[in-house]
A and B are shown apart, each in its own frame.
Chain A
Amino acid sequence: MAHALLKFITPIKRPSSKHIQTWPIEVRRATISKEPMKLVRPIQSILLVMMPLAVAFTFWVGPAKGFLEPELARIIFFHVPCAILSSVWVVWSGISGIQVLRTRSLVWDQRNAAALEIGFLMAILGMVTGILFSRVQWGEWWHWDPRQTSFLMVLLILAGAQAVRGGFADEQKRAIATAGYTALAMVPVLFLTFVFPRIPAIAQMSAHPRETLPKNQLDVYYSIGFYSMIVLLLGLTISLYIIRTRVGLLEVALNQHGLDKARGGSPASHRVVRPVDLPQPPGPTA
């Protein structure tokens, strides 16, 4: 009903193929091509079936050993995958930023934006689940654990990138500024994620388990649940990334080139004032 109402209020037609030809070729390929969506639909179908099963499985497995509250240690099925995927998407954002600076491509800019938003979302989810874990297992909402603190810094850097992206009205300047920031931000992010927690003096102070994954100390059921959640969340974020990139490119194309009217009007920008056809009143003309 909302869709019908919207169509009634704003009778905008889909851009004609002649109009689409006026869009930059890279935007055209990225928005019209059906190739990316061929990947999204199977992923979504798998997620529809497997995600509920995986979530149910995480509640079915037995309590974890070695935790103050063994039942509530299940949060690691969600917390650790979110943190890992946040790092993956933030690194991809940095690579996309470098590509923007190299190629000045709008497509890479939208990929950068999508990766940044998804990395930020995953980081927030990882931080929230980590805070819950800290409260339950260590007795405090914020424990000043080195890994917790370093992840907070990564979250703040991502927030700074979002602030930079939101500070520019011009699309080109926004793309370049975001790309420059994400390219430089990779250095502290990689240091905080992969180097800082492993410094021996820091690692000794941290209450985070250090050897569970590297030494494969999860039992078989926890391993199944944990790695399944990583794969499923990766699939979810990939589908979100593809959709977000396409939506961003469509927005760019619409902002820059507008939509022509249904009657084959000229493919000029929607900002240009054009004569409007009025229906002729019935009756004899003068």
Chain B
Amino acid sequence: MNSPWLNQVSAVLGKELKTEVRSSHGLATGILLGILIIASLGYSSLFDKPSPWGAAGMTVSALLFASALMVPRLFLVEEEQGTLDLLRLNGEAGAIYMGKLLAGIIQLLVIGSVLGLVLIELLSQDVQRPLFLAVGILGHIICLAGGFSFSGALVMGASNRWVLAAAAGVPLLLPQSIMAVLVITYGLGAGRPMTAIGSAWGLICMALVLLCMGALVIPVVWKLSVEPGK
């Protein structure tokens, strides 16, 4: 695969999507887990209709914990099977990382769409500003994919790496989770406009930072892990 960087990214992305279409384990599990989290939080409030703040918080939390299991899987399963080294022989580390990250974004988009419907129908929320709702969920998804891709790629080779990927990734994503809640809440008709607009910009900036820094740092980390003495 001696081709330009974008071709490599699209090749890895295609591989991940084909794998997911064949087995669908990750996607199905992620959707199920997201719905279960929202349902359990809803049951714990004794079927009372949550406020827009509560509903936004439930959705953001469900996406956070579902992605903590789904996104690192893209790296850790590949590493456990031993095929990541084969992949790295054929492509650049940065391209492989970006391809898997994009695959994570696409999977989280599917889960986010389902949870968005759950938010509206199951939690009986009225969408007053669909643009803010969409920006909030989309920005949150991109940040989650960036953050958990980074933590998943970083902890390969560690003991207890599945839990460690979540434990390392969740703290990095708490600030943007709050921003996502503020934006989604405004989309559901509560909150202040300036706070929501500021949070939306913060979410976009955080997404860009996580994408770019992950793409810069992880290839260096992988290279150093393989060639420690050089």
A-side residues, CB < 8 A to B, are 101, 104, 150, 153, 156-157, 159-161, 163-164, 167-170, 172-173, 176-177, 179-181, 183-185, 187-188, 191-192, 196, 199, 201
| Residue B214 is within 8 A (CB to CB) of chain A in the complex | yes
B212 CB to nearest A CB, Å:
10
Stretch at the interface among B13-21, B27-35, B120-128, B171-179: B171-179
Task: Pick from A101, A104, A156: contact of B171, CB below 8 A.
Answer: A156
Mask: chain B, 192-230; 1 = CB below 8 Å from A; 0 = not: 101100100000001001100110011011001100100
Report chain B residues within 8 Å CB of A188: 172, 175, 206
Report chain A residues within 8 Å CB of B220: 101, 180
Contact A187 B224 (CB under 8 A): no
A200 CB to nearest B CB, Å:
9
**Taking CB as reference atom, which chain A residue is nearest B161?**
A167
| Residue B167 is within 8 A (CB to CB) of chain A in the complex | yes
| Chain B binding surface, main DSSP class | helix
Contact B160 A167 (CB under 8 A): yes
**Chain B positions 142-168 with a Cβ under 8 Å from a chain A Cβ:** 150-151, 154-155, 157-161, 164, 167-168
A169 CB to nearest B CB, Å:
7
Report chain A residues within 8 Å CB of B170: 156, 160
A217–B225 CA distance with the chains assembled, in angstroms: 51
Contact A201-B168, Cβ < 8 Å, known A104-B224, A168-B158: no
Report chain B residues within 8 Å CB of A159: 171
A104–B198 CA distance with the chains assembled, in angstroms: 39
B-side residues, CB < 8 A to A, are 150-151, 154-155, 157-161, 164, 167-172, 174-175, 192, 194-195, 198, 206, 209-210, 213-214, 217-218, 220-221, 224-225, 228
Task: Pick from A164, A183, A196: contact of B168, CB below 8 A.
Answer: A164
**Taking CB as reference atom, which chain B residue is nearest A157?**
B171
Contact A172-B228, Cβ < 8 Å, known A160-B172, A167-B164, A177-B221: yes
Known: A104-B228, A176-B225, A201-B198. 12 other contacts (CB 8 A): A156-B170, A156-B171, A157-B171, A160-B169, A160-B170, A163-B164, A180-B218, A181-B154, A184-B150, A184-B214, A199-B198, A201-B195
Report chain B residues within 8 Å CB of A101: 217, 220-221, 224
Contact A184-B217, Cβ < 8 Å, known A163-B167, A164-B154, A172-B225: yes
A175–B139 CA distance with the chains assembled, in angstroms: 32
Contact A181-B168, Cβ < 8 Å, known A164-B154, A192-B175: yes
Contact A177 B171 (CB under 8 A): no
A98 CB to nearest B CB, Å:
9
A104–B160 CA distance with the chains assembled, in angstroms: 25
A161–B174 CA distance with the chains assembled, in angstroms: 15
Contact A177-B158, Cβ < 8 Å, known A101-B221, A163-B164: yes
A191–B218 CA distance with the chains assembled, in angstroms: 22
Contact B221 A176 (CB under 8 A): yes
Report chain B residues within 8 Å CB of A180: 154, 217-218, 220-221
Contact A160-B154, Cβ < 8 Å, known A177-B221, A180-B217, A184-B217: no
A191–B176 CA distance with the chains assembled, in angstroms: 11
A164–B150 CA distance with the chains assembled, in angstroms: 12
Report chain A residues within 8 Å CB of B171: 153, 156-157, 159-160
**Taking CB as reference atom, which chain B residue is nearest A187?**
B209
Task: Pick from B154, B175, B209: contact of A196, CB below 8 A.
Answer: B175
B50 CB to nearest A CB, Å:
19
Contact B174 A163 (CB under 8 A): no
A176–B150 CA distance with the chains assembled, in angstroms: 13
7 A-B pairs with the lowest CB-CB distances in the bound complex, closest first: A167-B158, A156-B171, A160-B171, A172-B228, A157-B171, A180-B221, A160-B168
A161–B206 CA distance with the chains assembled, in angstroms: 19
Report chain A residues within 8 Å CB of B210: 184
Report chain A residues within 8 Å CB of B206: 188
A183–B218 CA distance with the chains assembled, in angstroms: 11
A181–B171 CA distance with the chains assembled, in angstroms: 11
Report chain B residues within 8 Å CB of A104: 224, 228
Contact B155 A177 (CB under 8 A): yes
Contact A176-B164, Cβ < 8 Å, known A153-B174, A156-B174, A201-B192: no
